[in-house]
Structure 1
Amino acid sequence: MGRVFFKSRVAEPADLAFARSFPGEGPRAQASAGLVFFWAGLLYGLQTLIYAAVEAGWIKVPSSYGLCLAIGPTLPFLGVIVYVAWRERKGKGGVATRALTACYTSAGLLNLIIALTFGWLAISRKSTTIWLLYPIVICAMQGAVWYAASLIRRKLWLGLVSAGWFLTTLALTVLMTHVAAYLFCLGVALLVLMAAPGYAMKQSSVRERALETLRTEKSVNTGSDTDPQAAREALAFIKALVDRGEQVQLSGGLLLLSGGLLYGVQCLLHGLDMSGSLRMGALGHLINGILPTILFLVILSVVLWRDRHKTHANAGSRAINAAFGGVGLANLFMNLVFGYAAFTQKLWLIWMLYPISLCALMGAGWYVAAVAQRKLWPALVCAGWFVTAVLLAWRVETPEYLLILSGALVLLMAVPGYLLMRSDAGQRA
């Protein structure tokens, strides 16, 4: 990768401009994000607290005002969105802006898919429990995002926000049978963990903009923009962000390939057994239940042992570790949430919502990859995961459910893993 960034002195000014889009657009993007977070947390937090008070019997809202309460926060929030979009219409469209837009859009797509699937299942099965799981899943996703941000930026308060979202996930799970307390907890979380961090981001962006202005004025006065040595030093920073890409691509591809094949075959066998096409028996179910995990852990151990001497100290590897750590934490908490809810409610359907949530999460992740890399095949994988989430909700509690999941694991996990391995081999050559 270093050859790309240090190919010639002629290319240094253009590459330096690309590098500086990260710190240059950071405060602007942070201000916009902070503004959106602040108003979303404030408006919807207050709305949820009012619903909690109504549910508890503390206040009464006339039916004529019910619609106003339902849509009231959305109208001013849409105004905030329009204002932010208008203010940013002439902003720079560099890599930082593109990454921020991709993250927001992927979160919106994830929210849309979860809302559609959970909402449809809640209505068709006449289950309030399913609909109450929707905010819990979103809280787990928020925890994952803030966790990644805390590791990448190395700021304690971001980690505290992440911990707050994960604790909220657990609290909402326990309070599902007490709707008033559930709504009160959610309302407080929106105010404390969304509105307050949004305000903090806005204030931080003001300070960072002031520092960036001072740096720009200093570089103009000293002429550092035209200094080749200064260009090389600045480019060394951006090189660190991507320097480990080839190193982790082979390992990540191998894990995706093996995981997709092993668990894809597992779901296929379970689906064939449910449809009556195959009879595995008690021993067969036991082997099919634990063997894929044992084999995957063996492969994971081999990969970790092989990569044990590779350093992961730079910003690029730290970002990758943070992303995988956030997804892993979200996966862990969703396991606890759906497992606890399914056990206490004695409803197997709730556990089958877990793969639907994971498919939506995978789609969001691949969307960011598609926008960042500007490649078609990650976009197709993203679309495939979102379609899979909808199909699983449609065929839930049927043998086709596991067959659809099996096909998705092979086509949307194993095949992309193979493509990543091939891409890594081509880059090494």
Structure 2
Amino acid sequence: MNTDSARDDLAFMRALVEPTDDWQKQFGETYSAAGLCYCVQMLLHGGQFFGLAPAGGPVALAIGLGPTVVFLGLLIWIIRRNRSGAAGGATSRAVGSVFGAVGATNLALVLVIGSVAWRWHSLGVWLIYPCVVMILQGLAWLVAYMLRRKSWLALVAIGWFATGFAMAIFIDNMGGFVVAAGVGMFAFMLLPGLFMLRQSRRSA
């Protein structure tokens, strides 16, 4: 047996089960920022459903794209601000890699589902995309639970799965669809992000 290789493997496994949660600070900042942006978006979509906001034109385009643009700006700011900090342990890198892979997969899904919805002129096909995004979020949180073995991570994963399922049920009812998405964003994105921020400050 290669002694150096065995020592490296042991160090990696020890890092995966380390009791510290240093990964939570930056991730909590990012996730709570995303939760806030998309909760606002769901509220604006609700306004469109009830006729309080225009469903077409520049305002509707801003409602559709604005939250993502704002979030990307916040994400760049968070990354640059934390660039000089510690790189984090194995858990931080593993969790970050999983959520990064989910983000890249979302882009591929936009191209696949979006192209079919455009060719078929079908809003119903396009609405499958956000349902799948919720399931992928649940997948990422399930991996985080497997790495950290903390029950609240599993609850968040189950919450995302339930959100995707609820949205699929209401896919032909835009009001229910928006409510299901909004509740999911608030309960399983904004609140977990704020919780992780609080936990990181308590352990600092």
Q: Alignment partner of 2:145: what SS?
A: helix
Q: How far apart, CA to CA, are the structure 2 residues paired with 1:168 and 1:153?
A: 23
Q: Alignment partner of 1:177: what SS?
A: coil
Task: Find 1:135's aligned residue among 130, 134, 145.
Answer: 130
Letter matched to residue 169 of structure 1: G
Q: How far apart, CA to CA, are the structure 2 residues paired with 1:173 and 1:126?
A: 19
Q: How far apart, CA to CA, are the structure 2 residues paired with 1:95 and 1:192?
A: 28
Q: State the Cα deviation string for residues 140-168 of structure 1 (Å, max 9, x = none).
A: 11222222333432322222212211111
TM value normalised by structure 1: 0.42
| Corresponding pairs, count | 201
- Moved >6 Å (runs of 4+): 15-18
Gaps of 5+ in 1: 211-429
Root-mean-square deviation (Å): 3.0
Letter matched to residue 111 of structure 1: N
Q: Which residue of 1 aligns with 2:40?
A: 46
Q: How far apart, CA to CA, are the structure 1 residues paired with 2:17 and 2:75?
A: 23
Letter matched to residue 108 of structure 1: G
Task: Find 1:33's aligned residue among 13, 27, 30.
Answer: 27
Following superposition of structure 1 onto structure 2, how do residues 104-119 of structure 1 map, counting pairs within 5 Å? 104-119=99-114
> 1:16 offset after TM fit, Å?
6.6
Letter matched to residue 4 of structure 1: D
Following superposition of structure 1 onto structure 2, how do residues 199-238 of structure 1 map, counting pairs within 5 Å? 199-208=194-203, 210=204
Letter matched to residue 73 of structure 2: G
Identify which of structures 1 and 2 has the higher relative contact order when contacts are C-alpha pairs closer than 8 Å and 6+ apart: 2
Query: Does residue 193 in structure 1 map to residue 188 in structure 2?
Result: yes
Distance 1:19 1:178, change over 3 A: same
Letter matched to residue 177 of structure 2: Y
Q: Which residue of 2 aligns with 1:177?
A: 172
> 1:103 offset after TM fit, Å?
2.1
The structure with the larger Rg is 1
Distance 1:94 1:207, change over 3 A: closer
Q: How far apart, CA to CA, are the structure 1 residues paired with 2:142 and 2:99?
A: 16
Identity between Structure 1 and Structure 2 (%): 30
Q: Which residue of 1 aligns with 2:71?
A: 77
Q: How far apart, CA to CA, are the structure 1 residues paired with 2:13 and 2:144?
A: 22
Gaps of 5+ in 2: none
Q: Alignment partner of 1:72: what SS?
A: helix
Distance 1:16 1:186, change over 3 A: closer
Tell me if structure 1 keeps the 8 A contact 2:99–2:140.
no
Q: Which residue of 1 aligns with 2:53?
A: 60
Tell me if structure 2 keeps the 8 A contact 1:119–1:131.
yes
Q: How far apart, CA to CA, are the structure 2 residues paired with 1:189 and 1:58?
A: 23
